[in-house]
Every structure is written in C-alpha cells, then in structure tokens.
C-alpha cells in the first residue's frame, strides 16, 4: 500500500461541495470514482479542507492509499484522463509516507476571494466571482482587514452551524488589493472557522461601500456577535488556493 498526495484544481459550480453527499455530485466522489476505475480499489480520498457548494480550488490537497503498483506520473495521467469531463484537474502527485495526513499534517491554508467591482453584469466570470456594482474603497477595506490579523475570538465571523471547538483562531494574513476592476482578498492561517472568509468578505464589502468604517470592523470583532457583522458573501468568489506542508514539493 502506497500513500500519494494529490494537488487538485476544480471549478466548484457543478458540485455540492468537496465532501461526498447524498443530495448531489461532489468533488471527492468524482476523484474516488476515477481512482477506482484505474486500480479497481475502493478508496477514500482525504482532503486538507472542505469546500461548500460553488466554492472553487486552485490548490486543494488530498491523500489516498493505493495497493496497485504504480508511480506518481502514471497516477497523474490516469486520474486526469478518467476525470473527464468533470472540471477537475490533478495538477501534482507526490508519494508520501504512511503517517502523512492531508488534513492533520497541514501547517497552513490560504484562500482567495474575488470581487469584480463594476456595474456591468458578469459574463465569463459568472459563478467565479462576486459582482459588486457600487464602487468600493480598497484603502478602507485594507485598513479594516488589518484589525482582524492576529489571534482573536472570531465569533462575529463564524457561521451559526460551525463545528469548531473554539472560535479562537490566529489569522496570519488578510490582504486586500485591486487589479483593474477586480478586488482580491487573500487570507492565510493554520485553519479557519466555517464561513469565516466569506463573512470577512461580506463585512469588508460593507466597509468599502462606506456602510461600516474600518474602526467599526474592529468593534464588531470585539463584540463577538455575528448578528452585527456584514452578510455572508456568496460562494462564487471563494477559492481554496493552497495547503502547506513540511517536505512537500508542491
């Protein structure tokens, strides 16, 4: 039995999320079925994180144990061929030790949230970004984001059905910048609460519109009250960008 680490890219629009569910197709199911077709083994693909319906990934990581004699390059080619026509790509495969775990060995995760800030509706980016029509102030959003960096009780940005044992997390980075009509929010931490990034994005959007001041976001954080923070941004704009490990080459 050999354990392999996969780096995975996918468009989340056709899926009910990463995790297998009874109510629709999932990314996990599609990959497990592709591997089964290759090696005729029932496998479970364990990921570095989970994404909701409509959320995308450019660098999800997951491990899988395979008994069949193969190698990373052959596995890479086979899974990609068998995943067609799903909008999922395996962009890297690496053999890892048997005690490696995609979730528990992970030392950091990075997300990105995309806002297209224009009056015109989305065409090519429909379902791939949040279309915000009112002009947003990036300097105000960036200042507000700075108050959220560090170790805090993030109850104000935690979904009601979050299953984390504690609302306390350490946010290593939260950047906001503009590229033309697009505003990018980038976040990095060891782990996140459920909907934490989408709740950040919803509140930062309201700062950008002038509904909140940057200092209001600091007060909202300290209040530990989800009801006074901004909306939960739509799943369209959220991307799992990368998971980080020791001794992993991608």
Q: What is the DSSP string of 19-66?
A: S-BTTB--HHHHHHHHHHHHH-----PEES---BTT-EEEEEEEEEEE
Distances (CA, A) of 241 to 58, 59, 111, 187, 202: 5, 5, 5, 10, 19
Q: Answer yes or no: 52 catalytic.
A: yes
Of the residues 52, 65, 125, 175, only one is catalytic, namely: 52
Q: Is residue 132 in some structural domain?
A: yes
Same domain, 33 and 136: no
Q: Is residue 247 in some structural domain?
A: no
HSE-CB of 44 using CA atoms within 13 angstroms: 5
Same domain, 114 and 234: yes
Same domain, 87 and 120: no
Residue-wise pLDDT tens digits, 23-33: 899 999 999 99
pLDDT at residue number 93: 97
Q: Is residue 172 in some structural domain?
A: yes
| Residue 45, domain extent | 2-105
Q: Is residue 160 in some structural domain?
A: yes
Same domain, 60 and 114: no
pLDDT at residue number 23: 87
Same domain, 171 and 218: yes
- Point out the residues of the chain with pLDDT beneath 70: none
Same domain, 117 and 131: yes
CATH label of the domain that carries residue 124? 3.30.70.660
Same domain, 147 and 208: yes
Q: Is residue 250 in some structural domain?
A: no
pLDDT at residue number 247: 84
Same domain, 152 and 232: yes
Same domain, 115 and 233: yes
């Amino acid at each position: 039995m050999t354990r392999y680490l996969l780096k995975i890219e996918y468009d989340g629009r056709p899926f009910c999320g990463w995790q297998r569910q009874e109510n629709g197709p999932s990314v996990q199911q599609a990959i497990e079925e592709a591997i089964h077709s290759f090696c005729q083994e029932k496998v479970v693909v364990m990921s570095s994180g989970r994404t909701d319906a409509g959320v995308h990934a450019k660098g999800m990581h997951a491990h899988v144990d395979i008994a069949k004699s193969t190698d990373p390059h052959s596995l890479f080619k086979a899974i990609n061929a068998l995943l067609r026509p799903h909008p999922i790509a395996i962009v890297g495969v690496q053999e890892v030790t048997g005690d490696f775990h995609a979730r528990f060995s992970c030392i950091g995760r990075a997300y990105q949230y995309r806002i297209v800030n224009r009056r015109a509706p989305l065409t090519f980016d429909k379902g791939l970004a949040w279309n915000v029509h009112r002009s947003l102030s990036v300097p105000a959003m960036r200042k507000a984001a700075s108050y959220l960096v560090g170790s805090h009780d993030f109850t104000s940005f935690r979904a009601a059905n979050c299953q984390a044992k504690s609302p306390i997390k350490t946010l290593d980075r939260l950047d906001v910048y503009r590229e033309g009509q697009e505003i990018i929010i980038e976040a990095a931490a060891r782990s996140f609460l459920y909907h934490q990034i989408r709740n950040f994005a919803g509140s930062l959007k309201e700062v950008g519109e002038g509904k909140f001041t940057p200092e209001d976001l600091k007060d909202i954080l300290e209040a530990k009250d989800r009801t006074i923070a901004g909306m939960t941004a739509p799943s369209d704009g959220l991307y799992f960008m990368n998971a980080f490990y020791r001794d992993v080459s991608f």
